[in-house]
Structure 1
Amino acid sequence: MKRNQSALMLGVLGIFASSLAFAQNYQKMPITSGLNADVIANGVGSSSLTTNNDVDGVSYAFVAKDFLLTAASTPITYGMPVDGVINSIVTTTPGLSYQLGSLSANNSLRLAAVNDSGILTFTTPKAATKLYMLSTSGSGGSTLSVTVNFSDGTNQQFTGISVADWYTGTNIAVQGFGRIKKPGATPAAGDDVPSPEGGTNPRLYQNELAIDAANQTKLIQSVTVAKTAGTGLPNVFAFSVDAYSTCVPPILQPVGTITATSAAISWTAAAGSTPASYDVYYSTSNTIPAGTATPNFPGVTSTSLTIPSLTSNTTYYYWVRSNCSTATSQSAWSFGGTFKTACSIFTVPYTENFDTTSTGSSTNNNAPSCWSYLETASSAGYGYVSTTSPFSSPNSYYLYNSSDNTGSQMLVSPPTTNLSSGTKRVRFYARSSSTGYTVVVGTLSNAADPTTFTPIGSAISLTTTQTQYTVNIPAGSNAQLAFKHGLGGTFRGVYLDDITVQEIPSCIEPTAVTSSNSTINSANIGWTAPATAPSSGYEVYYSTSNTAPTSSTVLNATNSVTSTAVSASVSGLASATTYYAWVRSVCSATDKSVWSASPTTFTTTCTSTNVPYTQDFESVTVPSLANCTTAQNIGTGNTWTTFSPGAYGFTSKVASYLYSTSSAANTWFYTQGINLTAGIQYTISYKYGNNGGTTYVEKMKVAYGTSADATAMTNPIADYPNITNNVTAITETINFTPTTTGTYYFGFNCYSIADRNRLFLDDISITTSSLATSETASAKKDIKVYPNPFSDVINVSEFTNIKTVKITDISGRTLKTIENPTKEINVSSLNSGLYLITMYFKDGSQNTVKAIKK
């Protein structure tokens, strides 16, 4: 199929790449005289001071990267390079560069009118096969002629050379270096303000002039450039050559023996050539070396070389050139060769977590350096580094068999020293997309052939949680480990992470650490012993941090216990706190195992509290609930959360039943356990509201039970079946007298037949009432309620000292509240039954009496 990758093989993976570009002998031709205009603004000061002409005839000049109008100006990030070296971007001449004239002197041959001309003389005459011109034309295109003058007095003429406008042409050598408007006699806005011109303008162009074969041995001394046509202003800046040499580059041969740190290369002299020696240049970059590059190995007198001190598993590129004994004694660099060094043989211990490898895809299988993905030819499966389901972020390794249920897909490790000595093991984490998928651990005798896979034991059945597994590697001869997809069906995904190959320790760690029976301040920790139980028992480390202990972690009485059994109790813990625990074996005072792979996690229970109890949610981090309070969602789509102050009209932070998506919302909020005493009357107060308008009708019940669970909330004490559009909180107060002493949990239940409800809850308090229901203290106020039984009106004596009268049913539900009552109170709306009438006096005391309506 597409991606059967051979695994890593030692010393045989050399690649000979004669397709790499031939290295030309490009050399700059610095100009010693003939430039007549400075058109590049540079340094500090106005462009009118640092140039003496423009490029285009309308006051625009080029700008250098070091240009500053004043010393305090912000430096620009574009412009002509300060050293004047222009590296051509023409793809057919890689490595070609030019040297501009001084940026602080004349740096252009500017030809304003047709038939204007100039002679540019080169500092060092050179023989060449090609001459390259760097130029542009301002305010329109131009046509030039170039006469190449040789040192023997002869010349070669080139005519009809087209130079494009500085904003429109192709064959671009360099672009996007910006320009600047030179100030005129009357300065204008925009003068002396450099502009990057979109990052693609202005442009300098490259023209190639091929020297006739008869002239290639002659030294080029100067060129005469003339404008022959066009409306533009041509500016010629520099020339370079492909230098002529009678010395021919050698011919590279296929790479020989490759190791992790060396490679044997060789070459032969070109036909008819007898170089005195050769230069060798190599690099991890495929950039062709310049003619002036310093070779790594100069003056090699043989036709072969073993390059030493290389980095393993690395791609290298190399070139060779001839050194001859004629006047033009050095050739261009040869065609390039390439090779990749082999991987070093890994020594244990080593770990691979896939986190530094780029991710792949189903169309781009990959693996970490020195690892490989191996599959049966034409398999539909694949394997690559993925960001999905890691044990340690960010990456894991993904094996997927797609529609293949008969082939092989596997991750292959690097070759490992003495892997099959019988003293090694591999520990790794794995999970599958669905429970029951498998992975098989084994070894390979041929890392490029999946049929040489030898399994170690049975397939490992995985779960959907990343779990650590340990496999001891038996004695044998194979050097590479492999993790093979267990198949068993099609379209199954397996994830691997944190693979460690190590020596089997003398002291083996316990496994399957669990926790149970957590209380307010204690919990039991259990584990499975290793095959050989440790002679000195175990150590248990616990912490509120999920950071695993190490061999240097200090154990003391506040964070650890010891045990000679396979369980231990930890105590002295904080209530309502999440803990993590690890276990290790102690084989002797100096020989202890590593800590168990993953911690067990448990949370201690909440302590109960005494009255007064308050919960205003102000100290709660949005959107969490308060410590030791809980929520229970019955059905789907229901959520208790908290809102910040000011949300939906509430001035304080509130808890809320937020946006149920279930058409039958049913969610409970529970207080912390509260210790109450039998026979004592308690007052339960809370605020509630609904922001759903009249569209969404909220319903809320209040109940109590002996645990924070809906099944225990069997004792209702209030019910509000019609809560609508109450943005401003409603305060409710319920009197409650327990019949038994114990811990009580109070629950607030939002229920509805519609979805998207929003019920708010705030300022829950439970306090001791000033009166018990026995009414033994009623004598404090000689108040009479009559007649009793009553019909539609009741009378209250001494009503002038009463601030509020509240009438509740025996469940504590408030039915009527009368502020500043008169002697007669109309109660015709009440049904027949027993009622509690509570009178709140102006001095803060209260009195409750029972009355019956006929």
Structure 2
Amino acid sequence: MKGKRLFGLVNLCALFYAPMVFAQYYHPVAVSGFTQDVIANGIGNASSSTTASVDAVDYAYVSKDFQTTATSPALTYGLPVSGQFMSVVGTTPGLTYQLASYNSSNALKLNAVADSGTLTFNTPTAAFNLYFLATGGSGSGVVSAVVNFTDGTNQTFTSLSVGDWYDQANFAIQGIGRIKITTNALEDGGGTNPRIYQIPLAISSANQSKTVQSITFSKTSGTGFVNIFGVSANRFTTCLAPTAVTASAVTVSSATLGWTAPATVPTNYDIYYTSSTVAPNGSTSPTVSGVTGLTTNITSGISPMTKYHVWIRSNCGGSVGEWAYGTTFTTPCSTFTVPYTENFDTTSAGSTSNTNAPMCWSYLETSGFTGYGYVVNSNSNSPTNSYYLYNSSASTGNQLLVSPQTTALSDGTKRVRFYAKGSTNYTLQVGTLTNPSDPSTFVSFNTTTITGTHTQYTVNIPSGGGSYLAFRHNLGGTYRAIYLDDITVESMPSCLEATALATSGVTANSATLSWTAPINVPANGYEYAYTTTNSAPTGSGTANAGTSVTISLPSPSTTYYLWVRSKCTTTDLSAWTGIAVTTKAINDECSAPTIITPGGSFATNPVIGTTVGASSTTDATATHSCQNTGYNDTWYSVVVPASGNISIETQSVSGSSVSDTVLGVYSGSCGSLTQIGCDDDSSSDGNFSLVTLTGQTPGATLLIGVWNYSSSTSGQFKVSAYDASLLSTSDVVAAKKEGKVYPNPFSDIINISEFKDVKTVKVTDVAGRTLKTIENPTKEISLGSLNPGLYLITMYFKDGSQNTVKAIKK
């Protein structure tokens, strides 16, 4: 079977650029003349480390060292802290830029047409070509550039397009993120935007030997704000360097370099190689010097799994030429030994057009497979990256994430622990490969059923398999996404971990943790602990003999991580395994609620209580649940009357419209509430929720939670409580007269029950606007003129009562 193996940062073989016909002497140029600081950096508000935004709406670039506060998470994206990076434009391999300090002006900013500015070279430089680094904010712009030489002449370039910082071509760097200066909100880090672009200035042959003094830029058209960040040069030299530099016979500790001599053969050559992207300059010492032939073997300082950049220059009988960028190569991976871990956080995000994997790992698929596999900056178990397997329309074939070659992986003493998520009942296979380039050599030894949240799985690796571990998307349906994170390959411990951790009985200050004992039950029980970060405890825990424990937690509305480990002997303990839990908000259970005094009669005192605003936050999980789990809630307390019978109801305030209220009634004390009543307004007992309870303890205090879980409505509701045993006869009659509508949802026609008793029907939208009024209705009402959506249908009965129900038009 033919397969495709794509390597993270190029794996197991060297990476070669196509030979270059002419040597390229790329070097960043130090310049002055920047006018604004548009790069947020360091610790503090973005507004304190910038003087202007890149665009018209307060967004700036961000350095990788930016933090709002000293405790803010470190960024995994951003412009390099050093300000130095190598361009990714394929036609200029090795071209390096150096940005100005992030603590001072670092951009020449041209906002309006006719704005201009000059970047002056600190050291005048002769060049075959110049390149400048720029971007457009809030749109693209067009500039002209005048290259000024020290002899007083110049060369003019016109119609130079500077693309908007999103989605344009010829970018030198991308995925560096941006920040809203006014709010510190970060956006788009680690992906393909925003970008900075590389724009060439080809110096004419007549001017190449002249030294450049400065470049004057002018904005000539376009709506975008032009930002110019730096200049690099392909320096002019008469002592030409060799061309067609190659790297061959690359091993974990050596490589052979070869090249083609220039037309005028020099006395000898100097070579400089480094894993850094910083280009050498005239004062840089060669790694290898005085090479007289056209090849040389390099061994000093070469390490496995490392990418090296090579520069070369000629010595021309007493004069030394410029360093020319030669090539790059990557040393192969050595065979891994356990334990090792991969969390994907140090690998740049890939894409559908750039499938990738971490160094020494690989993405492998059957030829023609329609899905993708790459690192993503989302859906991680631990910040910030995870690995994404998506099968798209593929229903057959192989799609795998493959590990490095591992020593004695399948000797029966190894295991793998990993986190995975997808959707409920998606499956993932774990197995081994004998050939990392051939998906047909995959043999599965485990099929794991995953859920919609990241869960840790532990799989023992049986003996007799291959030396490459692989995770295979088990398909089972099209368009299924699976995420992997925090993979650890290790030897099986003598003391095994607890599994299937779960939480229950969560209150504002406690939670119950339970687990399943391992196959070999630990002789000395377990230890448990909690932390406030997703990091295992570093010290001892509290002993516990059984497989569950209630843990006291300090604060409400706080996420804690609960941990347990097996204790086989006093010194032989398993690794910690953990699960997250969030304690309930204090107002879920025992804040000071508004007190409602029950009225004696619903008819004579229909609304007793406080007017409250409807929440504007959607929480659809409240539907039918009435649970006290931290929705945007309002709480009340009520004392049960002497009869022991009580009704609690929500009602619309006159002139407003609210839908989707949920009512939950609880008894008990703070931290141990028990739900005794629940209703939401989809029931047929009125416009809003109604709970009637009988046989309650007179004088007992009940806690009432009210939620509005729809963001599509606004307005107010009131809460009433009354003694259900004191309803008048008219109240009882009115309560029985419900007036139902069907079908619901409906298309064009809706039917009304009890229509002979109905005097008027009024149809309103959720904003309270009356759309249709029907006097003396028949059983069928035509509502075909209404748009699809939610409507309130109010029936006014001949006895003076009324009832409102919700109906949905399809």
Classify the TM-score, shorter chain: 0.5 to 0.7
In the alignment, does 2:451 pair up with 1:450?
no
Aligned residue identity for 1:437:
Y
Within 1, Cα distance between the matches of 2:389 and 2:15? 29
Q: Cα offset for 1:449?
A: 2.1
Contact 1:319/1:335 (CA < 8 Å) preserved in 2?
yes
Contact 2:658/2:716 (CA < 8 Å) preserved in 1?
no
Match 1:374 to one of 364, 367, 383: 364
Q: 1:605 to 1:674 in 2, by over 3 A?
A: farther
Within 2, Cα distance between the matches of 1:528 and 1:659? 38
Match for residue 391 of structure 2? 401
Within 2, Cα distance between the matches of 1:670 and 1:329? 83
In the alignment, does 2:296 pair up with 1:308?
no
Q: Deviations over 1:771-803 (max 9, x none)?
A: xx9xxxxxxxxxxxxxxxxxxxxxxxxxxxxxx
Match 1:208 to one of 199, 205, 208: 205
SS of 1:451's equivalent in the other structure is helix
Q: 1:678 to 1:453 in 2, by over 3 A?
A: same
Q: Deviations over 1:219-273 (max 9, x none)?
A: x999xxxxxxxxxxxxxxxxx995545xx75565642322344322234657895
Contact 1:260/1:341 (CA < 8 Å) preserved in 2?
yes
- Unaligned regions of 5+ residues in structure 2, if any? 35-103, 109-116, 133-147, 162-199, 212-233, 596-607, 627-632, 669-673, 732-810
Match 2:726 to one of 810, 829, 840: 810
In the alignment, does 2:123 pair up with 1:85?
yes
Contact 2:252/2:303 (CA < 8 Å) preserved in 1?
yes
Aligned 1:208-607 pairs, distance under 5 A? 208-209=205-206, 242-244=236-238, 249-250=241-242, 254-267=246-259, 276-284=267-275, 294-301=285-292, 303-310=295-302, 312-323=304-315, 336-433=326-423, 435-455=424-444, 457-476=445-464, 478-515=466-503, 525-541=513-529, 543=530, 547=533, 550-555=536-541, 560-563=542-545, 565=546, 567-570=547-550, 581-598=562-579
Q: Cα offset for 1:170?
A: 8.8
Within 2, Cα distance between the matches of 1:25 and 1:660? 55
Match for residue 84 of structure 2? none
Contact 2:664/2:675 (CA < 8 Å) preserved in 1?
no
Match for residue 616 of structure 1? 594
TM-score, length of structure 1 as denominator length = 0.50
Contact 1:278/1:322 (CA < 8 Å) preserved in 2?
yes
Match for residue 143 of structure 1? none
Q: Deviations over 1:795-828 (max 9, x none)?
A: xxxxxxxxxxxxx99349999xxxxxxxxxxxxx
Contact 1:256/1:265 (CA < 8 Å) preserved in 2?
yes
Q: Cα offset for 1:445?
A: 2.2
SS of 1:710's equivalent in the other structure is strand
Q: Cα offset for 1:374?
A: 1.1
Within 1, Cα distance between the matches of 2:454 and 2:354? 24
Q: Cα offset for 1:344?
A: 4.4
In the alignment, does 2:671 pair up with 1:710?
no
Within 2, Cα distance between the matches of 1:483 and 1:270? 50
Within 1, Cα distance between the matches of 2:131 and 2:285? 15
Q: Cα offset for 1:581?
A: 3.9
Contact 2:8/2:356 (CA < 8 Å) preserved in 1?
no
Q: 1:691 to 1:290 in 2, by over 3 A?
A: same
Aligned 1:626-665 pairs, distance under 5 A? 654=612, 656=614
Q: 1:553 to 1:599 in 2, by over 3 A?
A: farther
Q: Deviations over 1:742-793 (max 9, x none)?
A: 8553658899xxx94744448x999xxxxxx9xxxxxxxxxxxxxxxxxxxx
Q: Deviations over 1:457-495 (max 9, x none)?
A: 232222223221111223347432211111233322222
Within 2, Cα distance between the matches of 1:574 and 1:332? 65
Aligned residue identity for 2:329:
F
Contact 1:705/1:745 (CA < 8 Å) preserved in 2?
yes
Contact 2:636/2:704 (CA < 8 Å) preserved in 1?
no
Aligned residue identity for 1:510:
A
Within 2, Cα distance between the matches of 1:204 and 1:479? 52
Aligned residue identity for 2:475:
L
Q: Cα offset for 1:375?
A: 0.9
Contact 1:583/1:596 (CA < 8 Å) preserved in 2?
yes
Within 2, Cα distance between the matches of 1:495 and 1:41? 47
Within 1, Cα distance between the matches of 2:24 and 2:329? 18
Contact 1:14/1:339 (CA < 8 Å) preserved in 2?
yes
SS of 2:440's equivalent in the other structure is helix
Contact 1:253/1:267 (CA < 8 Å) preserved in 2?
yes
Within 1, Cα distance between the matches of 2:564 and 2:658? 53
Aligned 1:732-751 pairs, distance under 5 A? 740=697, 743=700, 745=702
Within 2, Cα distance between the matches of 1:671 and 1:587? 48
Q: Deviations over 1:554-597 (max 9, x none)?
A: 43xxxx4410x4x3443778999987643211111111111224
Q: Deviations over 1:371-421 (max 9, x none)?
A: 221111221111122245332343321111222222211111233344334
Within 1, Cα distance between the matches of 2:368 and 2:704? 62
Within 1, Cα distance between the matches of 2:131 and 2:589? 80
Contact 2:25/2:322 (CA < 8 Å) preserved in 1?
yes
Within 1, Cα distance between the matches of 2:246 and 2:274? 18
Q: Deviations over 1:677-715 (max 9, x none)?
A: 968x99x999998555177899999999896343699xx
Within 2, Cα distance between the matches of 1:13 and 1:4? 15
Within 2, Cα distance between the matches of 1:411 and 1:750? 45
Within 2, Cα distance between the matches of 1:423 and 1:519? 42
Within 2, Cα distance between the matches of 1:2 and 1:420? 23
RMSD: 6.0
Aligned residue identity for 1:693:
G
Within 1, Cα distance between the matches of 2:308 and 2:539? 45
Indicate the structure (1 or 2) with the bigger Cα radius of gyration: 1
- Unaligned regions of 5+ residues in structure 1, if any? 29-39, 43-73, 97-131, 138-162, 172-202, 212-219, 223-239, 618-649, 714-719, 724-735, 767-772, 774-807, 816-854
Match for residue 193 of structure 2? none
Within 1, Cα distance between the matches of 2:718 and 2:464? 69
Give the percent of matched residue pairs that are identical in Structure 1 and Structure 2: 35
Within 1, Cα distance between the matches of 2:258 and 2:539? 56
Q: 1:651 to 1:260 in 2, by over 3 A?
A: farther
Within 1, Cα distance between the matches of 2:483 and 2:528? 30
Contact 1:660/1:757 (CA < 8 Å) preserved in 2?
no
SS of 1:348's equivalent in the other structure is coil
Q: 1:427 to 1:743 in 2, by over 3 A?
A: farther
Within 1, Cα distance between the matches of 2:506 and 2:106? 66
Within 2, Cα distance between the matches of 1:698 and 1:295? 74
Contact 1:677/1:741 (CA < 8 Å) preserved in 2?
yes
TM-score, length of structure 2 as denominator length = 0.53
Q: 1:573 to 1:604 in 2, by over 3 A?
A: farther
Within 2, Cα distance between the matches of 1:285 and 1:419? 33
Contact 1:698/1:721 (CA < 8 Å) preserved in 2?
no
